[in-house]
Amino acid sequence: MALNRDFIGRKFPPSEPYEVSRVKIREFAAAIGDDNPIYRDREAAKAAGHPDVIAPPTFPIVFSMNSAAAVLADPDLGLNFAMVVHGEQRFEYTRPIHAGDVLSSSSEVVEIRSVGRNEFLTLRSEVRDEAGELVCTAFNTIVERGGAA
């Protein structure tokens, strides 16, 4: 089933703040097999000029789409999750995320298009810190296989 184009431009209210912990960064780094000390050792991170251990570049995927999850599950959108694969992902970083950050993300559906028999939906998510400063912008494109047929 084609996705509901009325959802283009739909914005989702900011998520509950996400508190970045050293333990979660360490767990994520272990899961991607990355033993870089800047993810684990405060002193190594400080020596590199960071206030605390920082998170790997793909870490924002853990929380950046929290505010969008409920809307993607909205039956009016018509998304069949069983047929969804990840199409594209991009992050623009204003600064590295570090332990102690309290971040909220807000998302918007920026595009829905058909390519062949597939439906592509792109979300743009802004991650901001407690001061409201932009930390990272994430672009997430999911593909619903066969959705446009």
Residues facing residue 115 across a β-bridge: 118
Query: Which runs of E-coded beta strand occur in 21-69?
Result: none
Looking at residue 68, its amino acid is A
With a CB cutoff of 8 Å and minimum separation 6, the contacts of 30 are none
For tokens 């018509």, name the residue: 78
Among 4-12, 89-97, 100-108, 114-122, which window interacts with another protein (CB under 8 A)? 89-97
Please identify which residue in 18, 79, 96, 127 interacts with another protein, judged by CB under 8 A.
96
Among 5-13, 48-56, 99-107, 108-116, which window interacts with another protein (CB under 8 A)? 48-56
Which token pair is 17? 């703040």
88 binds another protein (CB under 8 A): yes
Query: What are the C-alpha distances in Å from 72 to residues 22, 35, 40?
Result: 30, 34, 34
CB of 56 to another protein, least distance (A): 6
56 binds another protein (CB under 8 A): yes
147 binds another protein (CB under 8 A): no
110 binds another protein (CB under 8 A): no
Among 7-15, 78-86, 101-109, 127-135, which window interacts with another protein (CB under 8 A)? 78-86
